[in-house]
Amino acid sequence: MISLDPTPQPLDHLVLRGVGRADALVLREETLSYDILNLRIGLLAHWLTAFRLAHGDRIATWLPKNETTCLMPLAAARAGVVHVPINPVLKRAQVAHILGDSGARMLITNRTRMNSLLPGDVPEDCLVMEDEEAMEKWKEGEMSAHPSHRDPSDLAAILYTSGSTGKPKGVMLTHANMWLGALSVAHYLKLKFSDRTLCVLPLSFDYGQNQLLSTWAAGGAAVPLDYLMARDVIKSCARHAITTLAAVPPLWTQLIDYTWPEEAVASMRRLTNSGGALSPALVKRLRGIFPSTDIYAMYGLTEAFRSTYLDPDLIDDNPTSIGKAIPFAEILVVNDAGQDAADGEEGELVHAGPLVAQGYWQDETRTRERFKRAPAFSHYGGMAVWSGDRVRHDAEGLMYFVGRRDAMIKSSGNRISPAEIEDAATSTGLVAEAVALGIPDPQLGQAILLLARPALVPRPEALVDDLLIALKKELPAFMLPKIVELRETFPKNPNGKIDRALLVAEIEERFS
């Protein structure tokens, strides 16, 4: 197991931990050893410095998972500039906002995306580079494999995350944030140099980018994949003898509907989930496919990277728990009186410690709303992230997600967690995905609307009636949906999660 040295280092030093070992990055066209990876990072970093960028200037990438997107987090860190990864599925208007807000001095993208941009989308002082042409140049440049001596408190990346309202906001991460995050995850996942991680999540997503960094911290091999169909993920697991697979619940619900060949299952050591809770039904289905694989349920937020994980030995008996604090994190539950919440008492999850980000880029108002001093009973103290998420913990310290403070449904005086209704719905086996929302009701204040994507069931024509009958057995009357609507698909945001904000806007317009 990787050691937990709390002393952060410059981010690009991560690859030095694997120098002398074999596979580090498995690309479609070639596989890079750690020695070659370190040299390529040096080449790219040296090429960036030739543009006379100032320390802290922002470099954006808008690309699929290729060599540039995989190397840039460490190459930018080595060059003393700040990486701004842009999700490749974003459209030009969203990209224009990120480029303008971050003040990017350079954008590296491919020809198709470059041609989609309109005049005014790119800041005047931002140089746009075509990726293949740029790669030819930096690979022919001077060899500079020497690690940097950057201050770990320097800014290393700005990750743009969407909220329930407003335009995407840039979360500022230092070398120390990302270094300690990589070590923390590599430690509790028990990653080793023999591990091979399939990187299916966007590298612009904190959870996605950490797949690379935590794997390299442990000396393992990262295998980036842009997939079209869920079966592509399964094929890659078999082809590359993958040991570690990370996903979000909507992807898991697709993967469990396929037959997994033995060669894709035999090598798998761990499955990791974040970006939404694993329902008991989903855990059961995953366990049926992977009887000997560790399943890690995790909770995180971009503003503090990752907060909790559940020991895989506990998931079968506690499938709805988000676990306990990860290494280097202090997780507090603060009740409505501002005190340390008692066992079973609901409160706000507050994250303190060195994984806490530095706030939102050029957004003091939203920074003050979310980043505040830790409560007096905090061990770390200092600045903390007040998540807005409602949780509770039991006598053993296991935490359970209750819901977003601004997503709670209030009906007949009861505060109701959408997550509890959604878990109950998917646990019936009748629906694959579910979203519970509150809609205006003159008697109740809010009634419950349940949107559901059907599973493969023997009586689809009776699904709504069967679902309501099953829910009546599991939920009190005040938590039962008044309306059930079936959907063939749910909209997804760029990180693959159900786009709840889009659904809320749609429902508000319909019921206003």
Nearest Cα to Cα of residue 285 among 429, 454, 424, 460:
429
Amino acid identity of residue 195, one-letter, is: D
Q: What is the rounded CA–CA span in Å between residue 434 and residue 364?
A: 35
Q: What is the rounded CA–CA span in Å between residue 309 and residue 300?
A: 9
Q: Determine the number of helices (DSSP H) and then strands (DSSP E) in the chain.
A: 15, 25
- Overall average pLDDT of the 504-509 stretch: 90
Burial class, 238, CB count within 10 angstroms (exposed 0-12 / middle 13-18 / buried 19+)? middle
- Element at 130 (helix H, strand E): strand 127-130
Burial class, 299, CB count within 10 angstroms (exposed 0-12 / middle 13-18 / buried 19+)? buried
Q: How confident is the model at residue 164 (pLDDT cuts 50, 70, 90)?
A: very low
DSSP 443: T
Could you tell me whether strands 414-416 and 294-299 are parallel, antiparallel, or unpaired per DSSP bridges? unpaired
**Contact between 180 and 8 (Cβ < 8 Å):** yes
**Contact between 15 and 207 (Cβ < 8 Å):** no
2: Cα within 13 Å, side-chain hemisphere: 30
- Overall average pLDDT of the 435-464 stretch: 90
351 pLDDT more than 60: yes
Could you read off the pLDDT of 196-213 as tens digits, one per residue? 999 999 999 999 999 999
Q: How far apart are the first and last CA of the chain?
A: 55
The pLDDT assigned to 506 comes to 93
Q: What is the rounded CA–CA span in Å between residue 247 and residue 73?
A: 21
**Contact between 108 and 63 (Cβ < 8 Å):** yes
Architecture of domain 407-511: 2-Layer Sandwich (3.30)
Q: What is the rounded CA–CA span in Å between residue 420 and residue 423?
A: 5
Give the C-alpha distances (Å, rounded to integers) separating 94 from 195, 270, 497.
36, 34, 18
- Range in 55-69, 273-287, 350-364 the model is least confident about: 273-287
Nearest Cα to Cα of residue 72 among 109, 17, 19:
109
- Element at 159 (helix H, strand E): strand 155-161
Q: What is the rounded CA–CA span in Å between residue 122 and residue 99?
A: 6
DSSP assignment string, 170-188: EEEEEHHHHHHHHHHHHHH
**Contact between 470 and 138 (Cβ < 8 Å):** no
**Contact between 226 and 64 (Cβ < 8 Å):** yes
What topology does CATH give the domain 32-150? Rossmann fold (3.40.50)
Could you read off the pLDDT of 371-421 as tens digits, one per residue? 999 999 999 999 999 999 999 999 999 999 887 766 788 887 677 889 889
**Contact between 252 and 273 (Cβ < 8 Å):** yes
Q: How far is it between the farthest Cα atoms of the chain?
A: 73
Nearest Cα to Cα of residue 248 among 200, 192, 290:
200
Beta bridge partners of 447: 439
The pLDDT assigned to 478 comes to 85
Nearest Cα to Cα of residue 267 among 295, 237, 296:
237
Q: What is the rounded CA–CA span in Å between residue 408 and residue 388?
A: 11
Could you tell me whether strands 169-174 and 196-199 are parallel, antiparallel, or unpaired per DSSP bridges? unpaired
List phi, psi (to 5°) of 161: -125, 140
Q: What is the rounded CA–CA span in Å between residue 463 and residue 407?
A: 26
The pLDDT assigned to 165 comes to 47
The pLDDT assigned to 163 comes to 54
148 pLDDT more than 90: no
The full length of the chain comes to 512
- Overall average pLDDT of the 232-241 stretch: 98
Nearest Cα to Cα of residue 3 among 218, 324, 305, 215:
218
DSSP assignment string, 462-483: GHHHHHHHHHHHHS-GGGS-SE
Domain ranges of the chain: 32-150, 407-511
Q: What is the rounded CA–CA span in Å between residue 332 and residue 349?
A: 6
Nearest Cα to Cα of residue 352 among 389, 391, 326, 390:
326
| pTM for this entry | 0.88
Q: What is the rounded CA–CA span in Å between residue 437 and residue 487?
A: 14
Q: What is the rounded CA–CA span in Å between residue 46 and residue 142?
A: 7
362 pLDDT more than 70: yes
Q: What is the rounded CA–CA span in Å between residue 33 and residue 26?
A: 9
174 pLDDT more than 60: yes
% the chain with pLDDT above 70: 98
- Range in 22-36, 60-74, 338-352, 485-499 the model is least confident about: 485-499
Q: Is 368 helix (H, G, I), strand (E, B) or coil?
A: helix
- Overall average pLDDT of the 72-92 stretch: 94
Report residue 376 CA to chain centroid gap.
Answer: 30
Q: What is the rounded CA–CA span in Å between residue 257 and residue 278?
A: 16
What mean pLDDT, rounded, does the chain reach? 93
Nearest Cα to Cα of residue 82 among 160, 172, 164, 2:
172
53 pLDDT more than 70: yes
343 pLDDT more than 60: yes
Q: What is the rounded CA–CA span in Å between residue 323 and residue 307?
A: 9
Token pair in block for residue 380: 């770390």
Token pair in block for residue 190: 């028990």
Could you read off the pLDDT of 429-439 as tens digits, one per residue? 999 999 999 99
